[in-house]
Structure 1
Amino acid sequence: MSVESMANVLAVVRRLGMSIALFLVLPLLFLLVYIEWLHAPTNAFAVHLRVVAEIAVAMAGIRLLIGLLPVGILLRRVLASVMIACVLFGFIALYAGAFVGMKFWGRVASVQLLSTYVSQGPETLKALGISLYGVAGAIGVLFLLIAIAVFWYLKKYDWVSASRETLSPATLGIVTAGLLCVFAIYVASFEAQGWAREAEPLSLALFPGQGEVGAQSHHMNFMRMAELQKGQDASRTSYVPSVDAHRSNVVLIVVDAFRADHLSLLGYRTRTTPNLEHLRSQGTMTVATSAVAVCNESFCGLRGFASSQSVANQAERPFTMHEVLKKYGYKVNLILSGDHTHFYGLSHMYGQVDSYFDGASQRGRYVNDDRLLLDHLDAQPKWDGTPVMFQFHLMSSHPLGLRFDETPEFGPGRAYVLEHGTSAQAVKSAVNYYDRGVLQADTVISELLSKLKALGYLEDALVVITGDHGESLGEHGLYTHAQSVWEESLRVPFLLMSFGQADPVSLLPAKEISQVDIAPTLLHALGMKVPDSWEGVALQVPYNRRYIDFQQNQFLGLIDTQSDALYKFWIDTRSGQKFTFSLVSADKEKTDVTGQVPAALQREWREYLIKQSATLPVDAHLGF
């Protein structure tokens, strides 16, 4: 080989090495944050770099293919710049989806879920309070800057142009075909690799069902899940319906991110629930209190309510209230705002139902527009006497829920999803926006009940109104349903109404009520046996439960209902930091009283919580 040829080869190798090094900068920075700050398993590092390497192989093949085109060098460089910019922009989108998903849902955002919101971009951005033109302009500018930077780099350090001077077109063609064939084989086997179990972000985005996750943020070992599933299946099989049940219709209305302390019905100073207050004045509302959610996320909150299970004991296919009612001959209809279909398989959690509709089932309205529930209810037939369960899911109070133009404001307010400020003005703006959503939910609930009454379903019906979890509005520097277990994150309403021939429900006095108690209470009111696998208790009868459990990611805690101070105790299992508050104190969660609690009592709490630790993150410390 001549000296000149050797120099050309070295130039190709040097430029190729530089290109590879620069290409790895973005993935390496992401992995650093993904593992260190988002607590992904370390296995994700090597697996994701392998995915990146395979994408680099495809890029090299396409680069060489462009280099073989019989066009001018300037056009080849433009085509290469656009291709590389598209790939880099794709990585940016993937990593942004990972960060957004981890922040708001506890999991890497799936392509299926994001596609719902992207397809309704204007409505989504309106809910976020972001300008469509501003986002489009920012994306366009970013892409253009990336393409220009790549073009400049290729002008000076393009390894493909150097390859053309070293290798013959035939050799380049063979190498190109080989690289593209290798990538095609890799793509064909990508799903079968199952790398989502290693928390590889692209795999999680494409195949969210593969992840070893019980529900959003809460991971569970497959063996533990199998054990729980066996118990749920046994309970499902052995359940025998009560012969003397009263089959009143059941209407469950779940409002997403519904804080109990922001309902004027429950004492909030701003009048956010005039319609619910009117229903109480008519005597139909027999229960109006709050309950402690099992977590601060939709998946485990909805599953906790439906199957009466705390986070640590939630099976993948639980024996739900919906299935119980089906055994009594009920028709079960789900009418849900929001995209439950693509939300990590949430729609499958309820079991077999008679009809299912959610925001992803239509394209006429924004996916989180609660008017689609009213539209769908208009198509329901009149009641024919067959017992029916309706479950409605409202997004009005959710930060991504659409506020109707006709819904009054309580003062200047704006979407707070991206809010980080803690000034009085920022908090007040978030509160006004949220309260407007609560007022809107109150209106939608009233309209739903009016439509159900006109169709005859309230001639004999029990109606439950609750929330899946709470919402942070600047308290402790947090917004939305951030990863926390503060009271604003967990405390949801529990309202129960009796219409027509349904028996009124009267509860025994209780210091605290758990979200897992709602379904057993409802079944008891109907004279139906509570499944033996359920954790909750029917609140109409005496019971002696000491602890109420809650968990959000690494935050694991309990409320000791038998302590006079009504202690709320929780641990950050990553840092080991402990918190104890007296819920009967005027300070509530302002004063940590851990130092005042006897060591023996704290030891009892910790021993109990260790038994509830099945869904803690892999980097949690079980020794606390």
Structure 2
Amino acid sequence: MSVSFSKSWPEIVRQLGISTAIFLMVPLLFLLVYFEWLHAPLSVFGVHVRVVAWFAMALAGVRILISLLPIETALRRMLSSLAVGCVFFGFVALYSGVVVGVKLWGRPASLQLVSIYFSQAAATLRVMDISIYWVVGVASLFALIVVGSAYSYLKKYDWALRFRESMSPITSGVVAASLLCLFSVYALSFENREWGAQGEPLSLALFPNQGDLVAQSHHVGLLRMAELQSKHDAARTSYVPSAGVHKSNIIFIVVDALRADHLSLFGYNRKTSPGLERIRSEGAMSVATSAVAVCNESFCGLRGLASSQTVANQAEHPFSVYDVVRKYGYKVNLVLSGDHTNFYGLANMYGRVDSYFDGASQKGRYINDDRILLDRLNAQPKWDGTPTMFQFHLMSAHFLGLRLDETPEFGPGRPYGVIRDWSTSTVESANNYYDRGVLQADAVIGSLLERLKALGYLKDALVVVTGDHGESLGERGLYGHVRGVWEESLRVPFIVIAFGKADPVLLRSSEVISQIDIAPTVLQALGMKVPDVWMGAALQTPYSRRYIDFQQAKLLGLIDTKSREQYKFWVDTQSGNTFTYSLLSDRKEEFDISGKVAPELMNEWREHLKQQSGALPAGVQYR
């Protein structure tokens, strides 16, 4: 039975309005979280609402087409409910990826990164100590609730069915096709709109490279980045290698999330680094101290290590240590656990190298299983005398790293990436789990060195063991990284092991060292010229830099190396609150002494930080 258009139109408009309001509830709730909790720029609102409107338009077209199908009304309603459920699921998945990505990595999770972990879902869930049956059960229940709710709603308020009854089949088909064609046109031009540069979440999920300059943790303006890139390109072009250098092989071993104070090598009360201690006892270890990372996440930490730059001065394609040694005839081989290829374009930072391999390059093991490094090294030919640089990246200490059955436990422990409990037993469990990973990393380092020795690469080599950033294990209510600039978040080991004729790099352990000093120190040991564009200092020379700079998102700070108390000062640039600690007498940063510091000295610190504030999150300004 047909219904007249004039009588049904007000009801169609009313139902369409209600449906639209319900459809917008989830996106609007997410945007509230995105602004208030994740500090996204307000410009995201307009562009993301437009994206949501595209999908609403496509969903409307699909539902009208479903209403034209020559099947029972109940079946049409079920198909419409499934369509609504799929779109709802898509947005929930997108928003969950944004929130989880920002909290774990400082950036929304990209489709490429999610697909890698999804393809290894069983291993990922096992590492996180989550039952796959529990996940499937919860997801199924959630799907049942969503589709069931949609079905119940459409029994009373199905505007698409009323619209179909008010129009001829041809007119309805034309309207549906027009809506879907319009959506297709928008979808095809989506990448070219480059809304990821404004922080639009779907754009960042599909095209993560659009967020290289504007990310959740750090932001560098396009003009500033162009200036930085120009300086690095000029330095790369003008660099002339020094004559008479000693071309020892260079081995960088970076352990993800490795905090210095959890190594027994440095006095930790658990035997977490017996292999490194054995190397020290044999006399090959010339440096065993700690360094301050430039930030508390991998992206800027690895860039800081490779290009000797603080966060605010990191170019997109920096003149890195890999570029420098290649000018001296080195081969550069990167062997990396974890997914660097899809991790927001991180692999682009490494530039041109002779061989590149990471967890995403293989399918035989879990992506964060450090045995893939040994697998790769087992296929490496023996050293032919060509100076070579290796960089290894280990995930054993990371909470997503696979703990192997043969690695001993220090007690009951479980992954802490999603923990929000700060009871004594939970903190102890997190420490047990983390320390087991550190012990495993120590064993992997030993195996790597043993294999490199068998291949001849350690006949003349400098080995550096360090971390990209630290890790929180329940201190101050924090777990993991990407948040905070406390000592446990930033303090990483700096260990140098000399083999054969390599310069032993004898340094004073008491020096205050930044992560950006590591690469210049290695070049100096080999007689190579340190690029003028680098900010770090070779530690064989008198230490003259006053400040060690660090930043994590809106938290901007420094360590005053010339102060007797080794003052650590940082500012929450969003709230304006300041924090000052004496690292000499208060290593655990328990007592804020900002009120006891001379105003003149604090003003000096503030003025210095203004010069380092070029990488604050979008929408945040230094006060």
Q: Report the TM-score when normalising by structure 1.
A: 0.98
- The 1-side partners of 2:379 and 2:75 are apart by 57
Match in the other structure for 1:202: 202
- 1:223 is aligned to 2:223: yes
Rounded Cα–Cα distance in structure 1 between residues aligned with 2:259 and 2:27: 39
Aligned ranges for residues 253-402 of structure 1 at < 5 Å? Answer: 253-402=253-402
Cα distance in 1 for residues equivalent to 2:262 and 2:17 = 59
Deviation at 1:36, TM superposition (A): 1.9
Structure 1 Cα separation of the partners of residues 482 and 503 of structure 2: 39
Q: Deviations over 1:486-507 (max 9, x none)?
A: 0000000000001112121111
Amino acid at match of 1:523: L
State the shift of 1:164 in Å.
Answer: 2.5
Structure 1 distance, partners of 2:365, 2:106, is 27
Q: Which moved more, 1:124-133 or 1:432-441?
A: 124-133
- Structure 2 distance, partners of 1:353, 1:609, is 35
Q: Identity percentage over the alignment? A: 63
1:247–1:141 CA distance, 2 compared to 1 (3 A):
same
Matching residue of 1:160: 160
Which position in structure 1 is the counterpart of 2:441?
441
Deviation digits for residues 561-598 of structure 1, max 9, x if unmatched? 00001100000000111000000104640011111110
Aligned partners of 2:230 and 2:88: how far apart in 1?
45
Q: What is the aligned partner in structure 2 of residue 583 from structure 1?
A: 583
* TM superposition shift of 1:472: 0.1
Aligned counterparts of 1:239 and 1:264: Cα–Cα separation in 2: 41
Q: Distance in 2 between matches of 1:204 and 1:93?
A: 14
How many Å separate the matches in 2 of 1:522 and 1:353?
A: 19
After TM superposition, list the pairs within 5 Å mapping 1:555-574 onto structure 2: 555-574=555-574
Equivalent residue, structure 2, for 1:251 = 251
In structure 2, what is the equivalent of residue 481 of structure 1?
481
Could you say what the CA RMSD is over the residues aligned between the two structures, in angstroms?
Answer: 1.2
Q: Distance in 1 between matches of 2:325 and 2:112?
A: 31
**Residue 215 of structure 1, CA deviation:** 6.5
CA drift of 1:465 comes to: 0.2
> How far, CA to CA, are the matches of 1:216 and 1:492 in structure 2?
23
Contact kept in structure 2, 1:251 and 1:461, CA below 8 Å:
yes
Q: Please give the secondary structure, in 1, of the residue aligned with 2:383.
A: coil
Q: Which deviates the most, 12-21 or 54-63?
A: 12-21
Q: Which residue of 1 aligns with 2:79?
A: 79
Report the Cα offset of residue 8 of structure 1. Answer: 1.4
The alpha carbon displacement at 1:213 in A equals 2.4
Partner of 1:52: 52
5+ unaligned residues in a row in structure 2: which ranges?
Answer: none
Query: Which stretch of the first structure deviates more once superposed, 404-413 or 502-511?
Result: 502-511
Distance of aligned partners of 1:17 and 1:216 in 2 relative to their CA distance in 1, 3 Å threshold: closer
Kindly provide the amino acid, as one letter, of the partner of residue 80 in structure 1.
Answer: S
CA distance in 2, matches of 1:403, 1:618: 37
Contact 1:97 1:109 in 2 (8 A): yes
Whole-Å Cα distance in 2 between the matches of residues 595 and 50 of structure 1?
48
Cα pair 2:287 2:505 within 8 Å, conserved: yes
Q: TM-score, normalised by structure 2?
A: 0.98
Is the CA contact 1:214–1:314 (under 8 Å) kept in the aligned structure 2?
Answer: no
**SS at the partner of 1:290?**
strand
Displacement of 1:4: 4.8
Of residues 382-391 and 35-44 in structure 1, the stretch that sits farther from structure 2 once superposed is 35-44
User: Cα–Cα, structure 1 residues 212 and 243, in superposed 2: closer, same or farther, change >3 Å?
Assistant: closer
- Compute the displacement of 1:75 (Å): 1.2
Kept in 2, the 8 Å contact 1:511–1:561? The answer is: no
1:283-321, CA deviations, whole angstroms, 9 ceiling, x for partnerless residues?
A: 111100000000001010000010000111111111000
Q: Distance in 2 between matches of 1:500 and 1:141?
A: 62
Look up the equivalent residue of 1:320 and give its one-letter code. S
- Could you tell me how far apart the structure 2 residues matched to 1:331 and 1:214 are? 33
CA apart distance, 1:508: 4.2
- Contact 2:107 / 2:215 at 8 angstroms: preserved in 1? no
Query: What residue identity is the alignment partner of 1:398?
Result: H
**Alpha-carbon distance in structure 2 between the residues aligned to 1:587 and 1:309:** 25
Change beyond 3 A, Cα 1:511–1:594: farther
Q: Residue type of the partner of 2:305?
A: F
Distance in 2 (CA, whole Å) between partners of 1:211 and 1:290 is 32
Alignment-derived partner of residue 31 in structure 1: 31
